Structure 1
Amino acid sequence: MPIQFRYTPEIRSRFPQLRSRTLFVDGIGANVDASIQIARLVTTADDRLAAASEGAFPEIQAWRGAFSTMGLKPTQYRCASEALLRRYRKEGSLPALHPLIDLCNATSLAFAIPVAVFDTSKITGTMTVRLAHGDETYETFAGQIEHPEPGEVIFADDTGRAHARRWTNRQSGWSAVRADTTQVLIVVEALHEFAENDVAALMTSLSKALAAIWRGSGVAEMEPL
């Protein structure tokens, strides 16, 4: 059964410009070749970066504004898409981690929009974007346990486990995609002026790539609650 994904009314009211969509994907495996689809997306990113640095992109500027609203220094805490673009611009490549993660990272590069991916077997109940109480549990990729600051925007499930901190800044190692992952929740979020059209275009591109790479997989698009 697909994982439900929702925003609290407070998040909706504070960020009325937010546009988001989710995908529930079943039938993922690590033994596939996603290089063709990834190369096309990276070429798009190359073209954009040749014209301007990521900091000038409206998608990134909108997230910087949101982070400032949340009391975070935008150049210290960057949204996931800016961090990826920044690393790619400096190093010329991104590390290969897992075909699905590599595809979603390339998609994020091309559209300059954060794309989060969660292993649904690690999520209990509904995934909610909300303000932290401060007692939630967040596990880093190194296995360390942290507790989000009260009022911080997090992705949390029904057990109080935080699957992302500072909204689109940092995902948890707990629900990261692994070699044995078969079902995932993909979340795409944007705040800029043309977010609705760009998120729709991203979802179309990603859905087609998923169907081409993981033939026979189930891909269901869902509207966040």
Structure 2
Amino acid sequence: MKYTVDPWIFECNPNIIFAIVIGKGLKNSETSESDTLKLEAAEHLLRERVSMDVIKTHPDFLVYREALTNVGINPNKFMNSVEAMGKRVIKGDRLPRINALVDLCNKLSLENVISLGGHDLADIEDDLMVRKTIEGDEFLPFGSELFEQVPPGEVVFTSGSKIQTRQWLWRQSELGKMTLETKAVFFQLVGFKGEHLHKIQGTVKALEHLIEDRFEGAYETFYVDANHNEIEFDY
């Protein structure tokens, strides 16, 4: 299977870098007490580091807002997932506990302020791509059984004509959600070169460790950037 990022994305954001981790043979479970404590610690750490009045200008969140703006997405109307999650936590709410895979990915995302999405490969049949939508692309909203048509020109992450994430980093589909039955996952992390590079590299290492030690699986890792915009993987 291929994963490709449209070169136009890099023309708009030359310093962006994608990390792709393919998790295989995973043994997901309900969230344990230990998992919960780790997520709670990440929530507490973020509240200590960032206040609500500066979240939009904080360097860790600002890079995502600028990346969205650079491809024509309004970051206020279509807030990237890591900022939306961060806002909820900083306001004092706790994230819903779903299952170990989801909760520990959220823990890594909050801890490092990194966009991290997990997609169950059992739901993915066609090559993956970050690109603008074309006629015929469709999206299955979370919790829905009815696909909705998406007009051409929207930046999305898609598998063939089935959109996995709308507005690039905004909202994931019902297709690909990680459940207790999930065994293989396409993890997509989005970060930036330069002073932010260590953040995505550290998050990848932590994710690899989780896959092996917590979920007793194996992994394969790839990086995608302006000089290498396509990968192929097996699962």
For residues 168-211 of structure 1, give each alpha carbon's deviation from its aligned partner in whole angstroms, at most 9, with x where no partner exists. Answer: 11111111112211111001002475232211011111211222
Indicate whether 1:209 and 2:207 are aligned.
Answer: no
Q: What's 2:21 paired with?
A: 23
For residues 109-160 of structure 1, give each alpha carbon's deviation from its aligned partner in whole angstroms, at most 9, with x where no partner exists. Answer: 11111101001111123211011114201100132322233221111123x1
Cα distance, 1:9 vs structure 2: 1.5
Within a 5 Å distance, the mapping from 1:6-85 to structure 2 comes to 6-31=4-29, 35-36=33-34, 39-40=37-38, 42-53=40-51, 54-85=55-86
Distance 1:19 1:124 in 2: 24
Q: Which moved more, 1:181-190 or 1:50-59?
A: 50-59
- 8 Å Cα contact 2:46/2:86 also seen in 1: no
- 8 Å Cα contact 1:25/1:185 also seen in 2: yes
For residues 76-121 of structure 1, give each alpha carbon's deviation from its aligned partner in whole angstroms, at most 9, with x where no partner exists. Answer: 2111101111111224311111210111111111111110100111
Q: Which moved more, 1:143-152 or 1:199-208?
A: 143-152
Secondary structure of 1:211 counterpart:
helix
Distance 2:40 2:194 in 1: 23
Indicate whether 1:162 and 2:163 are aligned.
Answer: yes
**Percent sequence identity over matched residues?**
20
User: Which one-letter code corresponds to 2:157 in the other structure?
Assistant: F
Within a 5 Å distance, the mapping from 1:131-150 to structure 2 comes to 131-143=132-144, 144-150=146-152
Distance 2:193 2:61 in 1: 8
Distance 1:35 1:128 in 2: 37
- 8 Å Cα contact 1:156/1:163 also seen in 2: yes
Distance 1:112 1:105 in 2: 10
Q: Which moved more, 1:191-200 or 1:102-111?
A: 191-200
Distance 1:121 1:45 in 2: 30
Distance 1:49 1:74 in 2: 21
Distance 1:102 1:213 in 2: 12
The alignment covers a number of residue pairs equal to 221
Secondary structure of 2:178 counterpart:
coil
User: Which one-letter code corresponds to 1:17 in the other structure?
Assistant: N
- 8 Å Cα contact 2:13/2:70 also seen in 1: no
Within a 5 Å distance, the mapping from 1:87-126 to structure 2 comes to 87-126=88-127
- 8 Å Cα contact 1:132/1:148 also seen in 2: yes
Relative distance call for 1:95 and 1:18 in structure 2 (3 A) is same
Q: Which moved more, 1:58-67 or 1:160-169?
A: 58-67
- 8 Å Cα contact 2:17/2:191 also seen in 1: yes
- 8 Å Cα contact 1:34/1:103 also seen in 2: no
User: Unpaired runs of 5+ in structure 2?
Assistant: 225-229, 231-235
Relative distance call for 1:35 and 1:17 in structure 2 (3 A) is farther
Distance 2:97 2:172 in 1: 18
Relative distance call for 1:98 and 1:87 in structure 2 (3 A) is same
Relative distance call for 1:12 and 1:69 in structure 2 (3 A) is closer
Relative distance call for 1:33 and 1:176 in structure 2 (3 A) is closer
Distance 2:165 2:199 in 1: 23
Cα distance, 1:16 vs structure 2: 1.0
- 8 Å Cα contact 1:22/1:186 also seen in 2: yes
Relative distance call for 1:162 and 1:82 in structure 2 (3 A) is same
Relative distance call for 1:70 and 1:222 in structure 2 (3 A) is closer
